Structure 1
Amino acid sequence: MTHSWGYSKENGPDRWHESYPSARGNNQSPIAILTKNVHSDPILLPWFTGYDPGASKTIKNTGKTCRIAFDDTYDRAVLRAGPLDGIYRLRQIHIHWGSTDDKGSEHVVDLTRHAGEIHLVHWNSKYSNYNDAVRKRDGVAVVALFMKIGKTPKPELKRILEEIDAIKTKGKEVPFSNFDPSILFPQNRAYFTYFGSFTTPPCEECVTWIILKEPIIVSSDQMLKFRSLSSNTAEQPFCPLVDNWRPLQPLNNRMVRTQCE
């Protein structure tokens, strides 16, 4: 039975633990990162992706986010190195955003919260499938990109925004082919990393986070486009899909690491 969770007062993050006990675990995400407390780790490597644009399949309004699905039946679109051992397959990309430009990101760095956060979700291909991987501590790796409001928005976001009108309402899904997610990455690939959880139920603690320090620039108009999505189906009244971000979780003695400069 799937409980209906969401971001409203009735079913929001404060109540997720009632149906999903993991949400009360000791390794939950997102967290606040203070750079003065981040550990410079000489063994951390740069990370690499090899994404086959042909792996992208569909874009969907789930009612909770905008999600792009990828073919993960073999090593077609992969992430490796960085803090990771082995090869991780890209399964999906989804986005978190706010009702206004001053909030929306899930992670916070030095007290700064950005307008949005893009999550690229990968699973460790040494496991038989995604559902098996989420049960393992090293099962999942998520690359997180901050979306920061600025004057020179990233043109590469256009591909995603062009499909928004086709997926206005919950459950709408259209083909989304030939997309290489690496076009979204900023020039600087420096990152923070820590062990945590998914930021949506069931909030399994199986995620190695790779949070890129350099945000990508978006415009207010681009953020408005995300807010034009509805969290209701076509039959229901329009209800703006906004503020789909989870509040900060306790760090609980976890170490946040970064590469030595």
Structure 2
Amino acid sequence: MTTWKSKAVHPLWTGPVPVPGGSRQSPINIRARDSVYDPRLKPLQVAYDAASCMFVWNTGYLCQVEFDSATEGSGISGGPLENHYRLKQFHFHWGAVNEWGSEHTVDDHVYPAELHLVHWNAVKYQSYQEAVTGENGLAVIGVFLKLGAPHRALQRVVDALPDIRHKDSRAALGPFDPCRLLPACRDYWTYAGSLTTPPLAESVTWIIQRQPIEVAPSQVTCVAGLVGDVPLVRQFP
């Protein structure tokens, strides 16, 4: 069975925070043995335009890389998705120590950090803002980070961090293809869930990569130094 984890309220969130009273709140603890193989699920189609990468910025509680979400064709489709979803941004979640940082867990195992690539349904909605709270509005790819060898693509982001030490500061990153942050094996779990930050809307199709990517402890440290059950199915047999 897939179990829900309690949602902590971040101290830097501002304004009213909705009470997560729905039945599809994220993140969850993935019970691998209890996930159901769905032969109808096809591989996820991923194609990003590296030139649509605009900047990396310090939101005050996240290190976030923004993309021009008006770029047609830069995003994902297939898999559990009925429409094409355009890439909006990616960001990282981490913990106070390198052993405890991911939002989702697998069989109660916590990874040092978790990458989220956020996409919006550009077929059904006119803008990202509208899609955030809309039905099937968002699709988020989740990638776990484990400690090991340095990750070459991630280093591009790490190298830009000294320029965004202060809240709301931004720095150009240049052309960047987020495909380089995805694992070689694209097997995934998927479920219908919610945003993990306000407004906590239950508008997200989660696509959690089964295989983590390997990053150096120093890379995680640099990023961290900046600042009811629903069906869970899997694409792999």
Query: What's the TM-score once normalised by structure 2's chain length?
Result: 0.92
In structure 1, C-alpha distance between the alignment counterparts of 2:162 and 2:60, rounded to whole Å: 14
SS in 2 for 1:205: coil
In structure 1, C-alpha distance between the alignment counterparts of 2:236 and 2:176, rounded to whole Å: 32
SS in 2 for 1:136: coil
Paired amino acid for 1:257: V
The alignment of Structure 1 onto Structure 2 pairs a total of residues equal to 229
Residue 96 of structure 2 is matched in structure 1 by 99
Residue 184 of structure 2 is matched in structure 1 by 187
Cα deviation 1:114-164 (Å, max 9, x = unaligned): 0100100000111111122123221100001101112x2322111110101
In structure 2, C-alpha distance between the alignment counterparts of 1:6 and 1:255, rounded to whole Å: 25
Paired amino acid for 1:55: S
In structure 2, C-alpha distance between the alignment counterparts of 1:22 and 1:206, rounded to whole Å: 15
How far off is 1:111 after superposition?
1.1
Residue 27 of structure 1 is matched in structure 2 by 24
Query: Where do 1:35-184 residues align within 5 Å?
Result: 35-126=32-123, 127-150=125-148, 152-184=149-181
The change in CA–CA distance for 1:33 and 1:176 in structure 2 (over 3 A counts) is same
SS in 1 for 2:103: coil
Residue 233 of structure 1 is matched in structure 2 by none
Residue 257 of structure 1 is matched in structure 2 by 233
Q: Do 1:22 and 1:204's aligned partners in 2 also have CA atoms closer than 8 Å?
A: no
SS in 1 for 2:20: helix
SS in 1 for 2:119: strand
In structure 2, the gaps of 5 or more residues are: 1-7
The change in CA–CA distance for 1:224 and 1:131 in structure 2 (over 3 A counts) is same
The change in CA–CA distance for 1:19 and 1:165 in structure 2 (over 3 A counts) is same
Paired amino acid for 2:109: T
The change in CA–CA distance for 1:33 and 1:217 in structure 2 (over 3 A counts) is same
How far off is 1:185 after superposition?
0.8
- The answer on 1:216 being equivalent to 2:213 is yes
Query: What's the TM-score once normalised by structure 1's chain length?
Result: 0.83
SS in 2 for 1:228: helix
In structure 2, C-alpha distance between the alignment counterparts of 1:158 and 1:42, rounded to whole Å: 37
In structure 1, C-alpha distance between the alignment counterparts of 2:163 and 2:234, rounded to whole Å: 39
In structure 2, C-alpha distance between the alignment counterparts of 1:68 and 1:51, rounded to whole Å: 14
SS in 2 for 1:24: coil
In structure 1, C-alpha distance between the alignment counterparts of 2:236 and 2:99, rounded to whole Å: 31
Report the RMSD for the aligned CA atoms in angstroms.
Answer: 1.8
Cα deviation 1:72-102 (Å, max 9, x = unaligned): 1131411010110111000011110111111
How far off is 1:226 after superposition?
1.2
Cα deviation 1:206-255 (Å, max 9, x = unaligned): 000000010001111111111221xxxxxxxxxxx2xxxxxxxxxx1311
Q: Do 2:187 and 2:236's aligned partners in 1 also have CA atoms closer than 8 Å?
A: no
How far off is 1:50 after superposition?
1.2
Q: Do 2:24 and 2:229's aligned partners in 1 also have CA atoms closer than 8 Å?
A: no
